[in-house]
């Protein structure tokens, strides 16, 4: 399994966490709730095919659609007698969203709390290429467009919308502790 790590160094988030820790002592319940929330929002991006900033993902390429079409043609109920896709097969093909084939990538996004650290990981070995884009395949001849699903920008900072959601949640925890 290949993993990648991005650390977020955000002083305002750290300050709120320090204040919470001073009041609560054990941050595990707060970090667990935050991790669950971040993970849920991340998984929802697969349904909407959008990046954390709301930008739509690049649609599936013609090559990907061709591969999916061939796969659909191999299953009963999707092909005409002539061999082409029937209306049902074409409807399935038209509804194929990027990054959703088996659902494995989406299901491999998990939060882990260890001590005072929250990690939200995408453990599928191909997660990074889909998050950041790049060259893949034999000879690195295939260009995979970036389709960000994790709430991190390429520089390691949280997207502003996600950062605000995390700050709001931390402030809610802080206010509840008063």
Q: 1 lies in a domain?
A: no
pLDDT attached to residue 153? 87
Residues 121 and 164 in one domain: yes
Task: Indicate whether 15 belongs to any domain.
Answer: yes
Same domain, 170 and 104: yes
Does the residue 86 lie in any domain?
Answer: yes
As for how many domains the chain has, the answer is 2
Report if residue 6 sits inside a domain: no
- Same domain for 137 and 89: no
Instruction: Indicate whether 153 and 107 sit together in one domain.
Output: yes
89-122 in b/e burial notation, b at 16+ Cβ within 10 A? beebbeebebbeeeeebbeebebebeeeebebbb
On whether both 111 and 157 belong to a single domain, the answer is yes
Domain containing residue 20 = 11-58+98-176
Instruction: Looking at the structure, tell me whether residues 103 and 145 fall in a common domain.
Output: yes
Alpha carbon distance 146, 133 (integer Å): 4
What pLDDT, on the 0 to 100 scale, is given for residue 94? Answer: 61
Give the model's pLDDT for residue 32: 93
Boundary of a domain, candidates 46, 74, 96: 96
133 in a domain, yes or no?
yes
109 within some domain: yes
Contact between residue 147 and residue 57 where contact means Cβ atoms under 8 Å apart: yes
User: 143 and 111 share a domain?
Assistant: yes
Asked whether residue 37 falls in the same domain as residue 70, the answer is: no
CA pair distance 172, 155, nearest whole angstrom: 28
Question: Would you say residue 65 lies in a domain?
Answer: yes
pLDDT score at 93:
58
5 within some domain? no
What global pTM score does this model have? 0.76
> From CA 136, how far away is CA 139, in angstroms rounded?
8
pLDDT given for residue 1 in this prediction: 46
- Tell me: do 87 and 104 sit in the same domain: no
Instruction: State whether 34 and 117 are in the same domain.
Output: yes
**34 and 122 inside one domain:** yes
Does 126 lie in the same domain as 77? Answer: no
The reported pLDDT for the residue numbered 152 is: 87
Q: Can you list the residues of the chain whose pLDDT is less than 70?
A: 1-8, 23, 78-79, 85, 89-95, 177-178
């Amino acid at each position: 399994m290949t993993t990648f790590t991005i650390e977020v160094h955000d002083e305002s988030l750290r300050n709120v966490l320090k204040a919470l820790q001073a009041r609560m002592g054990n941050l595990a319940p707060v970090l667990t709730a935050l991790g669950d929330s971040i993970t849920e929002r991340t998984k929802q991006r697969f349904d909407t095919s959008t990046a954390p900033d709301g930008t739509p993902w690049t649609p599936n390429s013609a090559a990907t659609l061709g591969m999916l079409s061939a796969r659909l043609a191999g299953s009963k109920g999707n092909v005409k007698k002539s061999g082409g896709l029937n209306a049902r097969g074409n409807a399935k093909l038209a509804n194929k969203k990027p990054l959703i084939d088996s659902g494995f990538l989406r299901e491999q996004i998990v939060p882990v709390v260890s001590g005072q650290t929250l990690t939200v990981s995408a453990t599928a070995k191909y997660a990074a290429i889909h998050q950041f884009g790049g060259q893949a395949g034999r000879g690195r001849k295939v260009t995979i467009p970036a389709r960000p699903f994790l709430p991190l920008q390429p520089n390691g900072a949280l997207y502003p919308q996600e950062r605000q959601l995390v700050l709001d949640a931390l402030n809610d925890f802080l206010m509840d502790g008063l």
